[in-house]
Amino acid sequence: MKVRCSQLKDITILGIETSCDETSAAVAVNGRAILSNIISSQVDLHGKFGGVVPEIASRKHVELVLPVINQALEEACVEAKDVDAVGVTYGPGLVGALLVGLSAAKGIAYVLNKPLIGVHHIEGHIAANYLENPLLEPPFICLVASGGHSHIVYVKGFKSFEIMGRTKDDAAGEAFDKIARAIGLGYPGGPLIDKTAVNGNSKAIEFPRVYFQGGSLDFSFSGLKTAVLNYLGNMKQKGEKIVIEDLCASFQQAVVDVLVKNTVEAALVREAGKIALAGGVAANSLLRRCMKEAAEKKGIEVYYPKPVLCTDNAAMIASAAFFEYKSGNTADLCLNAIPGLKLGD
């Protein structure tokens, strides 16, 4: 008789994330359950500059990384010596910011003689779905839309990825942030536009949607951004009143329409019955609603993490690290930060 051998021991991983402007540490078990997830955001600090200032981000990470790690262990009621491995984001991201988390992770791994695991930030975003939906397994299509990335990824296995579409210019979140800045809403723009759009008419202003020919599932948001900036300039020149709510709703609808159409198309091409959303933009209420509506019409299920797991956090890094650990994919202390790390590298 064949006996199915389940995992003998739970694997507890300390995750560390400092790729941009959140200093985060978390403890997760078997890539599926969160024991703690501490996120210290620097949003207020960068807000007055309208975006992340890399040097300020690195300095703040240096101040915060150890207290945040200690808090994560304390909240999880886990002693550092009892974790099975330390997972850390090593790219892509801001090099100075990445180096802070990486140095802390190496120090802990060395002192405690634990395996060090380098995690790709986008794999982390995808893994947030495993924390939210403990039964979710590949294959599925994942739309990863954040401040730095807009990728349609075919997740063939826990560690096997194929990029089916990507942005040719701005990332979706970057477009939200730039438009919010242009209309004086603040930073980060995504959540502010999401909120403001609730009271607006999404059909008030006709903004362009870019679709590429020949089956390409790539995105382009720079034309949309220019169209919004031109609209603002024209209205100002004519002395006409801009209804911010309508502008936010119309812009948001244009972004969401393209993200939804291409992602559902990718699922149909790969005959995938599941779509997952990941990255900061996955917190967008219209995107969640429209993706569900469009996918369900085609019999495709839609998964997304709660908003706090969509934006940068270390629980997702601890989850992705678990799947690396299971494949025996540990790193040595020479692991370096790679700001432009590609998915699948």
Q: Indicate whether 252 belongs to the interface with Zn ion (CB under 5 A).
A: no
Q: Indicate whether 22 belongs to the interface with Zn ion (CB under 5 A).
A: no
Q: With respect to ligand KG4, which residue has the nearer C-beta, 96 or 148?
A: 148
In the chain, alpha helices (H) = 43-47, 54-76, 95-112, 121-132, 172-182, 189-197, 222-238, 244-269, 285-297, 307-310, 315-326
Residues near ligand KG4 (CB under 6 A) are 20, 146-148, 173, 176-177, 188-191, 194, 279-281, 283-284, 311-312
Q: Indicate whether 312 belongs to the interface with Zn ion (CB under 5 A).
A: yes
**Which string of DSSP letters, residue by residue, matches 115-131?**
-EEEEEHHHHHHHHHHH
Q: Which amino acid is at 258?
A: V
Q: With respect to Zn ion, which residue has the nearer C-beta, 21 or 312?
A: 312
Q: Is 32 helix (H, G, I), strand (E, B) or coil?
A: coil
* Paired tokens of 337: 């930060």
Preceding amide of 188 cis, omega within 30: yes
Compute how many residues bind Zn ion; rule: CB under 5 A: 2
CB of 208 to Zn ion, least distance (A): 27
Query: For residue 27, how many other CB atoms are within 10 A of its CB?
Result: 27
Q: Candidates 139-147, 182-190, 207-215, 247-255 — which segment interacts with Zn ion by CB under 5 A?
A: 139-147
Partner whose footprint covers residue 284, from Zn ion, ligand KG4, none (CB < 5 to 8 Å by kind): ligand KG4
CB of 280 to ligand KG4, least distance (A): 2
Q: With respect to ligand KG4, which residue has the nearer C-beta, 115 or 147?
A: 147
Q: With respect to Zn ion, which residue has the nearer C-beta, 236 or 342?
A: 342
CB of 139 to ligand KG4, least distance (A): 23
Show Cβ contacts of residue 40 under 8 Å, excluding neighbours closer than 6 positions. Answer: 22, 23, 24, 64, 68
Q: Indicate whether 146 belongs to the interface with Zn ion (CB under 5 A).
A: yes
Q: With respect to ligand KG4, which residue has the nearer C-beta, 312 or 324?
A: 312
Q: With respect to Zn ion, which residue has the nearer C-beta, 121 or 178?
A: 121
CB of 182 to ligand KG4, least distance (A): 14
Burial class of residue 210 (count of CB atoms within 10 Å of its CB; 0-12, 13-18, 19+) = middle
- Run of H or E residues at 144: strand 140-145
Give the binding site for Zn ion (CB under 5 A). 146, 312
